[in-house]
Amino acid sequence: MVVGGSFDTFPKLLLRNAAQFGSRPAFRHKDLGIWQTWTWTQVAEIVRAYAAGLQRLGLQPGDTIAIVGSNRPKLYWTVMAAQTLRAIPVPVYSDAVADELAYVLAHAGVKFVAAQDQEQVDKVLSVSQRVPHLHTIVYDEPRGLHDYDHSRLTAIHDVIEDGRAALAANAALGGQIDELIRHGEGSDISVILYTSGTTGASKGVMLSARGCIDAATDTVRFDRLTDNDVALAYLPLAWVGDHYLNYVQGLVAGFCMACPESGETIEQDLREIGPTFYFAPPRVFEAMLTRVMIRMEDAAAIKRRMFNYFLGIAQRHGESILTGKPTPLSGRLLYALGRLMVYEPLKNVLGLSCVRVAYTAGEAIGPDLFAFYRSIGLNLKQLYGQTEAFLYVTCQPDGDIYSDTVGPAAPNVDIRIAESGEVQFRSPGMFVGYFKDQAKTAEAMTSDGYVKTGDAGFFDEKTGHLKIIDRAKDVGRLADGTMFAPKYLENKLKFFPNIKEAVAFGDSREFVCAIINIDPVAVANWAERNNIAFGSYQELAGHPLVYDMVAKDVVEVNRALAEGKVLAGTQIRRFLILHKELDADDGELTRTQKVRRGFIAERYAPLVTALYDGSHEADISTEVTFEDGRKGVIAARIKIRDLQTTGAREPLGRAA
Amino acid sequence: MRMPDKSEFLLQVEGVSLTFGGVTALRDVSFDIRKGEIRAIIGPNGAGKTSMLNVINGFYHPNRGAITFKGRTRARMQSFEASRGGIARTFQNVALFKGMSALDNIMAGRTLKMRRGLLWQMLRYGPALAEEIEHRNRVEEIIDFLEIEAIRKVPVARLPYGLQKRVELGRALAMEPDLLLLDEPMAGMNLEEKEDMSRFIIDVSNHYGTTIALIEHDMAVVMDLAHRVVVLDHGVKIADGTPDEVKQNQGVIDAYLGVAH
């Protein structure tokens, strides 16, 4: 097996891959309906030419270059070319609105921007006044940019061609680039990843080349990844997950990164590529399952019965067969039949047929959801990590999997639980510091060199695996002193297919209330099957029957809470269904789709007040941002529902 | 203002009148379309806008008047002449092959460009195959251009209306037309779809240099898109000029807002 070894920078790894896996595919990208492939040799040549071109445009060691766009080979090559020149790539979320973009570009002091297309170029140009060092913008797709002022704008294709011509004409230039690669050190900052900003302004996490490669070397070994593996690179470029799982692991293991044709074609591309390594956040797995279930509801009765029967078999025997535990022969035979009839065809439809290792992380995954995928033979595992760790803090080893833990410490990672309950770690990939922010860096570290995760958790006694409950600072107490973990409640609610998002309130209050977002796909389908007419999301969300259905789910959660001692007092007394979907464009979610509880409490203050003052209706009007950035106002009157709590100590509906 | 030279016009309509029995749809209408411009035809309901398009592409034959297209003057245009001559159009009510995929619908737009006969194409062999690959390549470029990769293989009947309109535009573009006639390309669309479609129309004009004549009800869209506007009312041309000129025109204001008689 080949791993990072003595290679301490990415340009060196790229050359190693070109020498070792020269003719193996490094990148694929679907263009004009056909998958185009680049081998490691070709990529090494292109990156060299690209680096030469960028150098001629003035990119110097230590300069920063922002990368704005979706997963495109040319943008990944920009990262490689920048690293070749010992410049620092700074990937930026492509769906960032202008203000967020301006902040990151200015904070990182970027001199160059590599943008995917006209949309991103426009966005960068619109904020260029606020980015004082901006020198040149390079772009991937020329469409629509023909008439732009090209004094500061160049196509990446032209930069590469220019570099190639210059290298051919001038041998000394090639020598200069070789020299830069040779002089590259493991301690060089190889990338700055801006955090999504769950808490305040985003911070630039600096990672060193050596750290990145060491961390990835461990996990590549852990999951036995090789140059025969394939990953579909569809996660946001600026997210640590994409940079780690696809870019860094790809270079370390020498596997192929396939870039989807466009954001909307990922499902089809997944089927066509058939990746062997797959990562998706829980919500993607959930959406996948919802889609399958909806389609099965419409299937012929005989198919539906076969499907349900074999899912039952899978539920009974799937997990033990996957982990290699003893299973009765009859179970094995039935499972084999199920595999033929249901599981394999289903995985094929989902594009998961070839997946050997699949991970999920970012949010808690529903136990049923997790068990479902494992039962049909998908080796789905959980990991826990963060940008500051360069992803992995813990991960579940094959065969040692529990849905409610995130696994033991990843290789070479030390974890401890502070007295406050906070999880702290030390890892090979841990960050060097926040860019231009000494104070924040010091805040995030302990005096003995551990990183504070800000998450509260504990090691499960039975398994020795880590369990994460909530963000440490979000764990609060009710007025009577009962511990209140909002995220824990929200996750329990979100495990129901009808509920997309939930926000729980209760800190310093007498009881717990929740604001709920219904899942438009699942609920609309349900409405259709039950002949419930509705004209808009708002109308659907306010429908009394939808309220009834959601109330059932909430009661279910309360029942589960009542069983455990610690959280029995945090049952949900009252809830309402919000008239609009929570949206990152309105600041209600982070770019990684996590709810911003504090912001929501402020924005919907009248609703929160109504939840606690006993009223049964509340009016709200909020400003919303449309996709094109314009703003509008939507107003609604929202109903509030009281609930019977299990084992409640007080009479219900005090205000009713 | 300088008189434009004849060769600048792609199409000239002179004194066209069209009647259906006792109903006069168009009465002595004359206007021209310059190469490369976006020309809008507007007017209240029943003004004769669609009739005018139908006359241009040879679906209706005018009772009087002449049409000069690419320097050739005809009293009446035949449909096949129009399409071979490079006029493509989309329809007010989407007219796609509902059961076929978006890709096949757009491929259908290449029919006139196919050189091999039916037999060769059925065999899908040798030169016919090479030809199909070439056409498919052009179609894929259009799919990329209109950003409809995700629905390539989806039967159009299952697509939302806005996307069907886009597929129809794709099919018209597949003909590589010199003159593209768009009959209410944005009717029934929501704001976002309208903006997408406007962008595609501008892109078509910039990227392919195609001359475009469009009918549209949404005045804001017309004012943004069109270089010049013809206004029809009850089959008569009441104004012709730049969007700004037309907006000031009292006749137009009366026609749209009504006038006390």
In this model, does residue A491 exceed pLDDT 50?
yes
Q: Do B137 and A143 touch (CB under 8 A)?
A: no
% of chain A residues with pLDDT over 90? 62
Phi-psi region of A491 (alpha: psi -120 to 50; beta: other; left: phi over 0): alpha
Residue in chain A lying closest to B196 (CA)? A628
Say yes or no for a CB contact (<8 Å) between A264 and B149: yes
Q: How confident is the model at residue B6 (pLDDT cuts 50, 70, 90)?
A: low
| Cross-chain CB nearest to B150 (options A143, A265, A626) | A265
| Whole-number Cα distances in Å, B105 to A53, B95, B98, B120, B139 | 42, 10, 9, 20, 10
Among the ranges given (A441-450, A571-580, B245-254), the one the predictor scored with the smallest mean pLDDT: B245-254
- Residue A564: its pLDDT value, please? 60
> E strand or H helix at A310, and its extent?
helix A301-313
Q: Is B140's CB within 8 Å of A33's CB?
A: yes
Chain B: residue whose CA lies nearest to A30: B149
Region A131-139: mean pLDDT is: 95
| pLDDT confidence of residue A494 | 85
pLDDT at A649 exceeding the cut of 50 = no
- The pLDDT tens digits for A50-95 are 999 999 999 999 999 999 999 999 999 999 999 999 999 999 999 8
Asked if B149 and A33 come within 8 Å (Cβ–Cβ), the reply is yes
Cβ–Cβ below 8 Å for A262 and B137: no
pLDDT classification of A586: cutoffs 50, 70, 90: confident
Specify the length of chain A in residues.
656
CB of B259 within 8 Å of a chain A CB? The answer is: no
Residues in contact with A623: Cβ distance below 8 Å, sequence separation at least 6, in sequence order = A586, A631, A632, A633
The DSSP letter of residue A247 is I
Judged by a CB distance cut-off of 8 A, whether residue B134 touches chain A is: no
Query: What pLDDT does A627 receive?
Result: 67
Quick check: B220 contacting A, CB < 8 Å?
no
Tens-digit pLDDT profile for residues B104-148: 999 999 887 877 777 777 777 778 888 888 999 999 999 999 999
Instruction: Select the residue of A143, A262, A627 nearest B149 (Cβ to Cβ).
Output: A262
Q: Rounded mean pLDDT of chain A?
A: 89
Q: Identify all chain A residues contacting B191, using CB atoms and an 8 Å cutoff.
A: 626
**Would the CB atoms of A144 and B203 count as touching at under 8 Å?**
yes
Distance from CA of B140 to the nearest CA of A (A): 5
Evaluate if residue B1 carries a pLDDT over 80. Answer: no
Q: Is B141 on the interface with A (CB under 8 A)?
A: yes
Structure tokens at A360: 């999920």
pLDDT digits (tens, 9 = 90+) for B14-68: 999 999 888 889 999 999 999 999 999 998 888 889 999 999 988 888 998 988 9
- Nearest Cβ partner of A32 from B141, B203, B207? B141
Residues A8, A57: Cα–Cα separation, whole Å: 27
Contact criterion met (CB < 8 Å) for A33 and B143: yes
Mean pLDDT for all residues in chain B: 87
Q: Does residue B86 have a pLDDT over 50?
A: yes
* Beta bridge partner(s), residue A452: A424
Cα–Cα distance measured from residue A469 to residue A487, given in angstroms and rounded to the nearest whole number: 7
| Cβ contact, residue pair B145, A143, below 8 Å | yes
pLDDT at A653: 38
Nearest CA in chain A to B199: A144
User: Contacts of residue B153 in chain A, CB cutoff 8 Å?
Assistant: 268
* φ, ψ of residue B179 in degrees (nearest 5): -125, 125
Confidence bin at B5 (pLDDT 50/70/90)? low
Longest dimension (CA), chain B: 71
Contact: A628, B195; criterion CB under 8 Å? yes
HEC letters along A455-517: EEEEECCCCCCEEEEEEHHHCEECCCCCEECHHHHHHHHHCCCCEEEEEEECCCCCCEEEEEE
Contact assignment for A32 to B145 by CB distance below 8 Å = no
Confidence of residue B7 (pLDDT cuts 50, 70, 90): low
Integer-rounded Cα Rg, in Å, for chain A is 26
Å from A295 to nearest chain B CA? 15
Predicted confidence band of residue B102 (pLDDT cuts 50, 70, 90): very high
B173 near A286, Cβ under 8 Å? no
Band the pLDDT of A353: cuts 50, 70, 90. very high
CB contact under 8 A, A32 and B140: yes
Per CB-CB distance under 8 Å, the chain B contacts of A147 are 206
* Residue B69 pLDDT greater than 60, yes or no: yes
B208 touches A: beta carbon within 8 Å: no
| B137 Cβ under 8 Å from any chain A Cβ | yes
Give all strands (DSSP E) within chain B, no chain letters.
9-20, 23-34, 38-42, 64-69, 72-74, 87-90, 179-183, 211-215, 228-233, 236-241
Q: How many cross-chain Cβ pairs, A to B, lie less than 8 Å apart?
A: 37
CB contact under 8 A, B192 and A626: yes
Q: What is the pLDDT of residue A97?
A: 85
Over residues A365-376, the pLDDT tens digits come to 888 889 999 999
Q: Do A143 and B152 touch (CB under 8 A)?
A: no
Percent of chain B residues past pLDDT 70, beyond the cut: 95
Q: Which residue of A has its CA nearest to B145?
A: A143
Closest CB to B149: pick one of A265, A626, A627.
Answer: A265
Q: What is the pLDDT of residue B251?
A: 85
Chain A environment of B140 (Cβ under 8 Å): 32-34
**CA nearest to B200 within chain A:** A144
User: What are the b/e assignments for A240-274, b being 16+ CB within 10 Å?
Assistant: bbbbbbbbbbbbbbbbbbbbbbeeebbbbbbebbb
Q: Which residue in the block uniquely carries the two structure tokens 């780690």?
A: A244
Contacts of B163 (CB under 8 A, 6+ apart): B102, B148, B151
Q: Is the pLDDT of residue A271 over 80?
A: yes
* A199: pLDDT strictly greater than 60: no
Q: Is the pLDDT of residue B4 over 70?
A: no
Contacts of A31 in chain B (CB under 8 A): 144
Closest approach of chain B CAs to the CA of A444, in angstroms? 43
B158 touches chain A (CB under 8 A): no
Rounded Cα–Cα distance for residues A424 and B108 (Å) = 62
pLDDT at A424 over 90: yes
Chain A residue numbers touching B154 (CB-CB < 8 A): none
**Confidence class for position B260, pLDDT limits 50, 70, 90:** low
Q: How far is A263 from chain B (nearest CA, A)?
A: 9
Tens digit of pLDDT for each residue in A384-409? 998 999 999 999 998 888 887 899 99
Exposure string for A427-465, b = 16+ CB within 10 A, e = fewer: bbbbbbbbbebeebbeebbeeeebbbbbbbbebeeeeeb
Do B149 and A146 count as a contact with CB atoms less than 8 A apart? no
Predicted pLDDT at A195 = 86
- Mutation for testing the B interface, residue in A29, A31, A32 having most B CBs under 10 Å: A32
* CA distance to partner chain A, nearest, from residue B70 (Å): 28
Decide if A143 and B207 are in contact by the 8 Å CB cutoff.
yes
Mean pLDDT across the stretch A17-40?
A: 95
* Rounded average pLDDT over A131-148: 91
pLDDT of A489 above 70? yes
What pLDDT is recorded for position B74? 81
Give the closest-approach CA distance of B183 to chain A in angstroms: 24
pLDDT band for A2, please (50, 70, 90 cuts): very low
B133 touches chain A (CB under 8 A): no
Q: Find which of B101, B137, B147, B149 to mutate to test the A interface (most A CBs within 10 Å of its CB).
A: B149
Mean pLDDT of B245-259: 81
Neighbour-count burial for B138-160, b at 16+ CB within 10 Å, e otherwise: bbbebbbbbebbbbbeebbeebe
